[in-house]
Structure 1
Amino acid sequence: MRILVVDDYALVREGLRHALQALGDNVEVVEACDAEEALRLIAEIPALDLVLLDIGLPGMDGFLALDEMRRGHSSVPIVVLSASAEQRDISAALNMGAMGYIPKMVPREVMLRALRLVLAGGVYIPPQALGMPGFSGAPTGGAAAAPKSLDELGLTGRQRQVLGLIAQGKPNKAIANELQISEPTVKAHVTEILRALKASSRAQAMVTARRFGLR
């Protein structure tokens, strides 16, 4: 497993390098101290499994780096690991395609559980973000308004089941096992759900589903 850690503090990178070994055997951690170095490495290193990105970087803004990474390397899951637990930062990161947002103040085991979830194909959103007023996961940048109720979506019964499991943060494989359907079928349902929600990411779909009362 190969993980790129992007943080401007050497002490933080060193701590993460040791902590990430708990994710499995043969974990290789590659380090970058700023966004420019991270973008170079993500372009040069084949088969990255995960990027851990701090948004408070010197030079290029971390959000700009996130946007560049998503545009050029959409298959690599990116998790923001930040000292900020502000609603606007969490919402912005998820709306830009991050597969998770982990405040740096969480315990080590919480971080590891979150990363395991993302590596399995799920989405991690900190619990405090889901309870924040106004945190809807709605698309940004002038996109069409998100549906105001579950009934507006026009989903089939099976798609509602899939959406409910997305709301729990479950990856496609776990959803397929629980519903006893194939992963390609789950992927097809997820595509239709994102279209119906007018969501650009699974994270947005998860937050919207929870706003509709799904858990």
Structure 2
Amino acid sequence: MGDNARIIVADDHPLFREALQQALAPTMPGVSFVEAESFESLQAAVESCEDPDLVLLDLEMPGAQGFSVLTWLRSQHPALPVVLVSATSDAAVMRRAVDLGAAGFIPKSSTVDTISEAISAVLEGEIWLPEAALALDDAQLSEDKELARKVASLTPQQFRVLDMLADGLLNKQIAAELEVSEATVKAHVTAIFRKLGVRSRTQAAVAARRIESTTRPHA
């Protein structure tokens, strides 16, 4: 594990951020941490942190839904490894994250040794997943993988439009929420339809709900 690593810890729970840092510091000499509690503060942290080595990203980051933060990081900072940290232990969610460009996925229930092992592997350029995700049959993921590829092509703004569209909001309402013109929203919707390969708002909403369902632990 590299010395003097700079790690951005993005999670809205301050106690978890503190616990993670206390757990990792003894195994990573010289490591420094930058904290972020929302998508907005994460954007600022990535821009202000000099040569960060890794982002530890909570899957449920305030300010954006689902995988949109990961999508933004991969498009804007493709060389920066991102490891998702989440309460979910759903193997399909973990594999979906890697399909979208994550360098790893660590369940929050993991031991300190496991977290340390995962981060060490990622800093060495590897992809790290728990055994359950590695054992998942690829055939189970083929359809989801294709949808993930399409969703990964959306910009963060398009992802937000898609989420609102799935909630049944009209273009006028989406425009008001995002403080943009209706023409801009229409352009986004057209682009979303094209990228997802759908022809209606209903079909787009179904795709959005499939993505959203994978970001929640199954009952």
Q: What TM-score bracket applies, with the shorter chain setting the length? A: 0.5 to 0.7
Distance 1:118 1:62 in 2: 22
Aligned to 1:33: 37
> Is residue 2:113 matched to residue 1:109?
yes
- Listed one character per residue, the Cα deviations across residues 36-86 of structure 1 (whole Å, up to 9, x for unaligned) are 211221122120011000011222125111110111111111100110112
Amino acid paired to 2:34 = V
Structure 1 unaligned spans of 5+ = 144-215
Measure the CA separation in 1 of the matches of 2:26 and 2:127.
20
Cα distance, 1:26–1:64 mapped onto 2, change above 3 Å: same
Structure 1 vs Structure 2: percent identity of aligned residues?
A: 34
- 1:135-174 deviation digits (Å, cap 9, x = unpaired): 469453359xxxxxxxxxxxxxxxxxxxxxxxxxxxxxxx
- Normalising by structure 1, what TM-score? 0.62
Q: State yes or no: 1:63 paired with 2:63.
A: no
The answer to whether residue 98 in structure 2 is matched with residue 90 in structure 1 is no
SS in 2 for 1:102: strand
The correspondence of residues 56-205 of structure 1 with structure 2, limited to 5 A, is 56-133=60-137, 134-135=140-141, 138-139=145-146, 140-141=148-149
User: Which AA in structure 1 matches 2:79?
Assistant: S
Supply the RMSD in Å over aligned alpha carbons.
Answer: 2.0
Aligned to 2:175: none
TM-score norm. by structure 2 comes to 0.61
What is the SS of the residue equivalent to 2:110?
A: coil
User: How many residue pairs end up in the alignment?
Assistant: 143
Cα distance in 1 between the residues matched to 2:150 and 2:34: 36
* Residues 23, 116 of structure 1: 8 Å contact kept: no
Counterpart Cα distance in 1 of 2:65 and 2:32: 26
Structure 2 stretches lacking a partner, 5+ long: 152-219
SS state of the match for residue 42, structure 2?
helix
